[in-house]
Copies of this chain bind each other. A is one copy, B any other.
Amino acid sequence: MSPRAKAGGGIDLGGTKIQTVIVNRRNEVLGQARAATPRKGGPKAIAAAMAEVLAEAGENAGYATADLTGVGVGSPGDVDAAAGTVSSAKNLSGWSRSFPLAAVLSDELGTPVALGNDVQVATTAEFELGAGRPYDSVLGVFWGTGVGGGIVLDGKDWLGRGAAGEIGHMVVKRGGRRCPCGNRGCMEAYAGRAAMEARARKLAGKGRKTVLFELMEGKGKDRLTSSVWAKAVKQDDKLAVKLIDDAVKALGAAIASAVNLLDIEAVILGGGLGIRFGGLYGPEIERRVGKNLFDAADPPAFRVAELGDLGGAVGAAQLAAR
Query: Residues on A close to B: CB < 8 A?
Result: 137, 149, 151, 153, 158-167, 169-174, 181, 183-186, 249-250, 253-254, 256-258, 260-265, 291-295, 298
Contact = CB atoms under 8 A, between A and B. Distances in A.
Instruction: Name the residue among A250, A260, A263, A265 with the largest chain B CB count within 10 angstroms.
Output: A260
Q: What does DSSP make chain A's interface, helix, strand, loop or mixed?
A: loop
A160 B263 contact: yes
A87 to B, nearest CB: 12
Contact of A257 (B153, B181, B257, B264): B257
A164 B294 contact: no
Contacts of A167: 260-261
B253 A174 contact: yes
A159 B261 CA distance: 9
A261 B294 CA distance: 18
28 contacts: A137-B160, A159-B263, A161-B264, A162-B263, A163-B294, A163-B298, A164-B262, A165-B263, A166-B260, A166-B261, A166-B263, A167-B261, A169-B260, A169-B292, A170-B170, A170-B260, A171-B253, A171-B254, A171-B257, A172-B173, A173-B173, A174-B249, A174-B250, A183-B291, A183-B293, A186-B292, A258-B261, A261-B262
B257 A295 contact: no
Given A153-B158, A169-B294, A183-B292, A261 B261 contact: yes
